[in-house]
Amino acid sequence: MSTLCKHNLLGVGLTPTSYGLVLETCRDWIRVREPRPVGHYIVVLNVHSVMTAFFDPVYRQMLNGASIGATDGVPLAWALRTAGYRKQPRVYGPDLMLALCEQAAVFGHRVYLYGGRECVLDVLKGNLIKRFPGLSISGAYAPPFRPLTPEEDRRCVDDIIASGADIVFVGIGAPKQEKWMFEHAARLPGVIMLGVGAAFDFHAGRVRQAPAWMQRCGLEWLFRLLMEPRRLWKRYLLNPLFLLCWGLEALGVRLVRTTSAGDSA
């Protein structure tokens, strides 16, 4: 079974990995799922999540509790390259979701969709099945835009377990999706959870994705800011601060003294 280390960046564990290695690891986890008492969860990290965790130790604990901290943000892939992982690619959450769905259709893995709106889930399910014939979507739930009551949450967990899902895609946005996965790992033994952010809206055709060239150049943030300026402008104020903190750490200044981020390079 694949063993994945982590590199500490500003107290957050980044996993030097690739699409292929994540897929292989998930196949291993599903094959030997029974002995593990808690579920695995995967976070897709970007500058915003790392900087939020930098200031919030509780959120940092949630991110570092993940089995994999993938480099969804291009600057994080750059950071790993400068730390010695020279071929580190971007592992983009929406593309990782599609790759896992393609693999699931081949190997018979069952997936569950948690998040979005009912109308979005209906379109998303149709699009995924059309794209990956044979994909088994064992269930879906669009949670209300408020905290679930204990009874609602229990019913949801029971539904996921009863569905026999191997993978749960969680699309309720950061930091809610990381909090949900952290809190439910022990209640969903053997299940793999992946926080995919806006992927539900992307793959349902509700929200446009940045052009490929902007994604390659690390300019997806600019595209999204232009599309949703009122919602996202505060989020991207953290980008210059990240560059400063990253630069200080590259010079040997350790800004976060304690972390459970895993092995450092």
CA 202 to CA 173: how far, in whole Å?
13
pLDDT in tens, 116-127: 999 999 999 999
Q: How many domains does the chain have?
A: 1
Q: Summarize the confidence of residues 153-181 as an average pLDDT.
A: 96
pLDDT in tens, 184-216: 999 999 999 999 988 999 999 988 877 878 777
Residue 141 covered by a domain: yes
CB-based contacts of 227, cutoff 8 Å, min separation 6: 207, 208
Confidence band for 218, pLDDT divided at 50, 70 and 90 = confident
pLDDT in tens, 57-87: 999 999 999 999 999 999 999 999 999 999 9
Residue 186 covered by a domain: yes
Domain that residue 191 falls in: 7-250
- What pLDDT, on a 0 to 100 scale, did the predictor assign at position 3? 59
Average of per-residue pLDDT values in the chain? 90
Residue 255 covered by a domain: no
Residue 260 covered by a domain: no
Cis peptide before 175 (omega within 30 of 0): yes
Residue 219 covered by a domain: yes
Residue 259 covered by a domain: no
Residue 131 covered by a domain: yes
Confidence band for 227, pLDDT divided at 50, 70 and 90 = confident
